[in-house]
Amino acid sequence: MNEIDWAQVDDVLLDMDGTLLDRHFDNYFFEEALPRRYADTFREDFAESKQRLMQMYRAVEGKLAWADLDHWTRTLGIDVVALSREWAHLIGYLPDAVEFLGQLRTMGKRVTLVTNAHPGGIQIKTGRTGLDRHVDRIVGAFDLGFLKMQPDFWPACREAVMFDPARTLYVDDDETCLAAAEQYGIRHIYHSAKSSSRLPADPSARFPAIATLSDLTGG
């Protein structure tokens, strides 16, 4: 990975889940906790419920409904936001995330959290971690009407934040989001390879990959 010339970066766009926050919460919630609550509620076998929900997730992947907690509440008949609060103790930062945010503030960079997360999920996670206090603003997919992997997200995000793509750095654990940003013209793009504390690193073959955010500052 080439060393970053931070003098050439004004704006830093950071994904939330899998970049700043440990994706273990999301993986566990959607693959274990929610299917188990569904199985208990409708008296189904857990394995069957999990398979059913995974198929339902895949059917709307890449659409706003995929990340919409209200959609899943209506579809599954379970209060998904309330269930998220029950498991909020699993929400936490990835290593070096808070330190990295402090370094960005010291360097005078403008930091924007860009996330596909539903507003209900954002509220739970910022309430648990105080993440909103470490960034200048939060721009969500539900604010703009597009997910980050959709090309229309990026011009809308630029209009909201007024960043110069040539002087912007963006980090995400989702390659499809990075690809959309690259196509739009964002210059400095990095892949968060260690998105979950419970899973091994999975570096991108396409984008420069980092194990922790401190790799970007040499910390």
- The pLDDT profile of the chain, 219 residues, written as one tens digit per residue, is 457 999 999 999 999 999 999 999 999 999 999 999 999 999 999 999 999 999 999 999 999 999 999 999 999 999 999 999 999 999 999 999 999 999 999 999 999 999 999 999 999 999 999 999 999 999 999 999 999 999 999 999 999 999 999 999 999 999 999 999 999 999 999 999 999 999 999 999 999 999 999 999 986
The pTM of the whole model exceeds 0.75:
yes
The three-point CA angle 187-188-191 to 5° equals 130
43 token code pair: 């008296």
Q: What is the pLDDT of residue 218?
A: 81
Which amino acid would we find at residue 90? L
Distance CA 180, CA 86 (A): 34
Q: How far apart are CA 18 and CA 92, in angstroms?
A: 11
User: Nearest-5° angle of CA 87, CA 80, CA 149?
Assistant: 95
